[in-house]
Amino acid sequence: METRAICTDCGFVSSDRVLKDSCPACGAPRSVFEPFEDRMSPARRKWLNQRAHQIMVAFPQVFVTVLFLSLICIALAPPRTAVLVHVKYTAKTLSLLVPFAVLGALITGYIDGRVRFTRLSGRFIRIKRNAGILLFACSCALASMIAVFGFKGPTAWITILVSLFALALSIVLGKLGGRLVCSEICEKQ
Ligand SMILES: [Zn+2]
């Protein structure tokens, strides 16, 4: 069976056979590598290697960021700016897509959690789950507000504030996700 080694500096795992003089991820010398024994079953490892959750979370992150910037543009641009009609169209489309994207991230995140951890009651996981559900609620509220009230009127700034909150949530979720992926402490045997 092929033996593998892990970089004790950055956690990069490589097959012994292809490992050269330094870590291809962080550049640390080969001497920092230690033999790596995967405690995870091949089926579990195969699912995690798909990176489904990491790929899915990119969508709400990008959508929420572009939506926030679009709303700011709509609020600040002079009313007759020609490009505004396209920005409004983009914002409206994104506001409808965000809830589905968040839902996809929540579902793959739940599956990832079940595969990766023995229990889902840890502090980080609880915070991440609650923030994810809150982001879903925010995105549904945003889609409804934009569909009902559009971009003008007294609710415009409330829409921008909710979208800023959604953006902040997605950043917090991304940071927490990074910490969870790096921790191997409670990985399933
Ligand atoms: Zn490394």
Query: Tens digits of per-residue pLDDT, 47-102?
Result: 888 889 999 999 999 999 999 999 999 999 888 888 999 999 999 999 999 999 99
What is the Cα–Cα distance from 98 to 173, expressed in whole angstroms? 15
Q: How far does residue 78's CA lie from ligand 1's centre (Å)?
A: 51
77/10 same-domain check? no
Q: pTM to 2 decimals?
A: 0.79
Q: How far does residue 6's CA lie from ligand 1's centre (Å)?
A: 8
pLDDT for position 186: 39
Tell me whether residue 27 is in a domain: yes
Q: Domain range holding 29?
A: 4-37
Tell me whether residue 187 is in a domain: no
CA angle, 49 then 111 then 129, to 5°: 120
Q: How far does residue 139's CA lie from ligand 1's centre (Å)?
A: 38
Q: How far does residue 83's CA lie from ligand 1's centre (Å)?
A: 47
pLDDT for position 181: 66
The pocket of ion ligand 1, defined by CB under 5 A, consists of 7, 9-10, 12, 23, 25-26, 28
75/139 same-domain check? yes
Distance, CA of 48 to chain centre:
15
Domain count across the chain: 2
- Sheet arrangement for strand 13-15: 13-15, 4-7, 33-36
pLDDT for position 1: 66
pLDDT for position 185: 39
81/102 same-domain check? yes
Q: How far does residue 49's CA lie from ligand 1's centre (Å)?
A: 18
Tell me whether residue 63 is in a domain: yes
Q: How far does residue 138's CA lie from ligand 1's centre (Å)?
A: 38
pLDDT for position 106: 96
Low-confidence ranges of the chain (pLDDT < 70): 1, 181-189
Q: How far does residue 35's CA lie from ligand 1's centre (Å)?
A: 14
